[in-house]
């Protein structure tokens, strides 16, 4: 049975300006991952935290014992597991143990910190944070970054046709129904999924898309000399345009399709180099590239720290976003936009939301069309520049973290009236 919630009208942009905020909130963020790592949802959490601090909110983050500490953030970690794991990202059987430890630590920190708001990221954060919120009788804000069951399928942890899928889906329904007083989604499409599939009322949902830090991701910060130096360090030919990707190296992110595109363009005689940045599975994909004959036209950097990401991305002439998921956000696209790069992307609601009519779209999973789209941009430098400048302007005007911070605080205010 779905619990009744007090109707809440979630504020839209512009309802509350920073100067009008009447109170400072104590916010406990529950982050069920090895925060901080240099990818995806971690960037959203980091930028949200920094933005809330800029609005003078008091913030503590409870997370796994693994991960990097970030200057200026109050990060409270679980005890380490009593055994070694090779867990990195995504769904894993080790996650259950991590989450048990996180639940205990969250309870302890909640009793110490006494938050006004519990802000749970992802479904595990909503479940653990939701229990604490009910104990303390404070609101829970659920930061929804994609369907739990869809992610488990994407990571091949769950079979959509298997017997456990229905159980996982019911658990997702329970978490989403029972605990949150408000849900922030990383895209409008994700909000539609929550309403249509999980029957969450519109008045509990606020689309809060990933945003771009256009001060950090600024192509004008890097001189030609600096970019030439980095290309030489990475072994990238100076006379070739560069197609760049920065993100997780997994099949569902479309990395095999990037490799196949590079190999096809090489076979077609195109003088182009691909720069694939990120982790894990670097050796695995290097071997695939080598076996397909693409080792000499693809550079794998491995992990790139967030602070260095703009420098590495500045080498790109075209960026690619072949992500296969239809419900998760695609924050990397915002960084590409901020770096003034045209983007070839699989056609998905999330990519359409971010890029509007400025994206170069191809049908989902169609490597041949993807290759053709990249090839056409290679021979259209003026078009690349025009699209890139328009995308940076769009990122600056529509996807500002300050604007997002005002929305989050508006939600906090409405829930504590």
Residue 18 lies in a domain: no
Look at residues 188, 194, 178 and name the one whose alpha carbon lies nearest to residue 126.
178
Q: Are residues 274 and 349 in the same domain?
A: yes
Q: Which of 261, 290, 223 is nearest to 365 (CA)?
A: 261
Identify whether 219 is part of a domain: no
DSSP state of 137: T
CA dist., res. 163 & res. 311, Å (int): 46
3-class secondary-structure state, position 41: helix
- Give the residue among 13, 48, 56 at the shortest CA–CA distance from 119: 48
The CB density around residue 254, as the number of other CB atoms within 10 Å, is: 25
Alpha-helix runs per DSSP H in 40-118: 40-54, 95-113
Domain count, the chain: 2
pLDDT at 83: 77
Same domain, yes or no, for 137 and 147? yes
Pairing status of strand 117-121 against strand 75-77: unpaired
128 plus 30 within the same structural domain: yes
Residue 216 located in a structural domain: no
| pLDDT one-digit tens code per residue, 169-209 | 888 899 998 999 999 998 888 899 899 988 999 999 999 99
Q: What is the CATH number of the domain that holds 379?
A: 3.40.50.2000
Residue 19 lies in a domain: no
One domain for residues 231 and 92? no
124 occurs within a structural domain: yes
Whether residue 251 is contained in a domain is answered as: yes
Kindly state whether residues 80 and 191 are assigned to the same domain: yes
Are 71 and 176 in a shared domain?
A: yes
The CA-based dihedral angle spanning residues 114, 116, 121, 122, taken in that order and rounded to the nearest 10 degrees? 100
Domain that holds residue 55: 26-211+401-416
Are 391 and 409 in a shared domain?
no
Query: 406 and 378, same structural domain?
Result: no
Q: Is residue 132 part of a domain?
A: yes
Measured distance between the N- and C-terminal CA atoms of the chain, rounded to whole angstroms: 26
Tokens of 344: 């070839």
Do 316 and 363 belong together in one domain?
Answer: yes
Q: Are 141 and 190 in a shared domain?
A: yes
Strand order in the sheet with 343-346: 298-302, 273-277, 242-246, 318-321, 343-346, 360-362
User: What pLDDT is recorded for position 331?
Assistant: 87
- Give yes or no: residues 392 and 408 share one domain: no
pLDDT-derived band at 15, boundaries 50, 70, 90: very low
The answer as to whether 269 is a domain residue is yes
Query: Which residues have a Cβ under 8 Å from the Cβ of 113 and sit 6 or more positions away?
Result: 26, 28, 60
| Close Cβ partners of 43 (under 8 Å, ≥ 6 residues apart) | 210, 306, 331
- If asked whether residues 177 and 270 sit together in one domain, one would say no
pLDDT tens for 148-168 read: 787 777 666 777 887 888 888
- pLDDT, one tens digit per residue, over 280-324 is 999 999 999 999 999 999 999 999 999 999 999 999 999 999 998
Joined tokens for residue 170: 């019911």
Residue 215 has pLDDT above 90, yes or no: yes
């Amino acid at each position: 049975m779905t619990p009744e919630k007090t109707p809440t009208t979630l504020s839209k942009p512009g309802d509350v300006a920073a100067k009008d905020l009447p109170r400072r909130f104590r916010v406990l963020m529950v982050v069920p991952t090895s925060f901080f790592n240099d990818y995806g949802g971690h960037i959203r959490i980091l930028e949200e935290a920094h933005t809330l601090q800029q609005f003078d909110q008091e913030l503590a983050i409870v997370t796994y014992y693994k991960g990097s500490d970030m200057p200026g953030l109050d990060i409270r970690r679980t005890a380490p597991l009593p055994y070694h794991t090779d867990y990195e990202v995504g769904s894993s059987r080790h996650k259950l143990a991590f989450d048990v430890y996180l639940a205990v630590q969250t309870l302890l920190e909640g009793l110490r910190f006494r938050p006004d708001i519990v802000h749970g990221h992802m479904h595990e954060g909503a479940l653990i944070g939701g229990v604490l919120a009910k104990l303390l009788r404070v609101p829970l804000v659920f930061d929804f970054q994609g369907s739990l069951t869809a992610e488990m399928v994407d990571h091949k942890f769950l079979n959509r046709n298997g017997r456990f899928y229905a159980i996982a889906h019911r658990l997702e329904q329970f978490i989403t129904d029972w605990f949150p007083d408000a849900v922030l989604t990383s895209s409008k499409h994700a909000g539609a999924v929550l309403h249509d599939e999980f029957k969450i009322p519109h008045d509990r949902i606020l689309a809060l898309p990933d945003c771009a830090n256009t001060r950090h991701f600024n192509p004008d910060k890097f001189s030609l000399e600096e970019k030439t130096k980095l290309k030489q360090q990475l072994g990238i030919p100076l006379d070739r345009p560069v197609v760049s990707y920065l993100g997780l190296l997994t099949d569902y992110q479309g990395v095999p399709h990037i490799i196949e595109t590079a190999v096809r363009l090489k076979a077609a005689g195109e003088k182009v180099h691909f720069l694939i940045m990120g982790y894990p599975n670097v050796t695995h994909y290097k071997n695939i590239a080598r076996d397909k004959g693409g080792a000499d036209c693809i550079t794998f950097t491995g992990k790139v720290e967030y602070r260095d990401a703009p420098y590495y991305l500045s080498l790109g002439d075209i960026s690619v976003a072949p992500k296969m998921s239809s419900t998760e956000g695609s924050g990397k696209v915002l960084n590409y936009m901020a770096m003034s790069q045209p983007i070839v992307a699989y056609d998905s609601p999330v990519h359409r939301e971010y890029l509007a009519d400025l994206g170069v779209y191809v049908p989902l999973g169609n490597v041949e069309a993807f290759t053709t789209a990249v090839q056409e941009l290679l021979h259209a430098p003026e078009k690349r520049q025009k699209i890139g400048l328009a995308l940076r302007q769009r990122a600056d005007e529509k996807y500002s973290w300050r604007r997002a911070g005002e929305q989050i605080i508006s939600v906090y205010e409405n829930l504590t009236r």
